[in-house]
Amino acid sequence: MPPKSGEPHKYRGIAGDLRDRINAGEFGEKRKLPSERDLRDHYSVSQMTVRQALGVLRDEGLIEARVGSGWFVAEWRPIVRNALKRLSGTQWGEGKSMWDVDIDDRRLEAAGVEIELIDAPADVARAMDLDVGDLVWKRNRRYVVDGEVVMRATSYIPDDLARGTRITQIDSGPGGTYARLREAGHGPVQFRESLRCRLATPAEVDDLQLSAGAPVVEQHRSAMRADGRVVEINRMVLDASRFLLVYDFPA
């Protein structure tokens, strides 16, 4: 029967208890969880409820299934994405990748980079105060860290700002797009980000190699130069299980 009003679903309670046990290091060096049968008996629930609870933790990136071996605490280290540090001009302005803040010594690949000059889509034109049909450079890529797909990012830069720079090339050079904009006299000095969490679309499930119904973080960033003009729009879709988003605010 369905839970009473205000009573949490049993599988969420089980997921919460297992999450606490994982964070406490209960499963030791082998990192192996009890079998589904043992979990069913321990929590006095059906096997379906146990699988729902395990599915929650799998989608959070805390556990992983190994064929023929059962469930294990995942070895993946979350990517700690500190917005203020990675967007600091002392990072990209010195020719460093913003990803250096996130991944330390881990292996990063920008896969399938696509660059094209297109008419500004209507929503991009509105955000950048352009006329529909004005030309923008679209940079589309998928990021892979330690062999795992973690994010899709699509950027739009006005043609009059990008023309003649390496922004129009596959490799935009040290410091990336923002460093090239600064060199051209259009360096961003202010950023605005908005985030929302939602379930992945079927296309995103395929693109990011997710489980059906897995959560993603949709992140939109606007970069503005000193006079307020928007010099870049970046739309990102992050595998929510792969990231820890951190924001430091000065007092």
Q: What residue ranges do the domains of the chain occupy?
A: 10-73, 79-246
With CA atoms as reference, report the closest residue to 21 among 74, 58, 73, 56: 73
At 117, which amino acid appears? L
Q: Which of 17-26, 70-79, 112-121, 203-212 has the lowest mean pLDDT?
A: 70-79
At 121, which amino acid appears? P
CA distance 103 to 244: 11
Position with higher pLDDT, 86 vs 243: 243
Position with higher pLDDT, 30 vs 236: 236
Architecture per CATH, domain 10-73, reads as Orthogonal Bundle (1.10)
The predicted pLDDT at position 248 comes to: 73
| Residue 87: C-alpha distances to residues 173, 227, 244 (Å) | 17, 18, 16
CA distance 105 to 154: 25
> Is residue 23's pLDDT more than 80?
yes
The predicted pLDDT at position 9 comes to: 80
Residues 153-170: pLDDT tens digits?
A: 999 999 999 999 999 999
Of the pLDDT bands very low, low, confident and very high (cuts 50, 70, 90), residue 247 is confident
What DSSP element (H or E) covers 92? Answer: helix 89-92
7-24: average pLDDT: 85
Look up residue 143 and give its two tokens. 């990021």
| Model pTM score | 0.71
The predicted pLDDT at position 2 comes to: 44
Whether 10-73 and 79-246 share one fold: the answer is: no
CA distance 149 to 222: 24
What DSSP element (H or E) covers 103? Answer: helix 99-103
Domain 79-246 grouped into CATH 3.20.20.70: no
Using a CB cutoff of 8 Å and minimum separation of 24, what contacts does 184-188 make?
186/161, 186/225, 186/229, 186/231, 187/89, 187/93, 187/225, 188/223, 188/224, 188/225, 188/231, 188/232
The predicted pLDDT at position 7 comes to: 44
The answer to whether the CB of 243 falls within 8 A of the CB of 217 is yes
Residues 46-102: pLDDT tens digits?
A: 999 999 999 888 877 788 888 888 999 987 777 878 777 767 766 656 655 666 666
> Is residue 245's pLDDT more than 60?
yes
The predicted pLDDT at position 1 comes to: 38
The predicted pLDDT at position 120 comes to: 96
What percentage of the chain reaches a pLDDT higher than 90? 61
The predicted pLDDT at position 4 comes to: 46
> Is residue 243's pLDDT more than 90?
no
Chain-wide mean pLDDT for the chain?
88
Of the pLDDT bands very low, low, confident and very high (cuts 50, 70, 90), residue 251 is low
Rounded to the nearest 10 degrees, how much is the dihedral formed by the CA atoms of 141, 142, 147, 148?
170
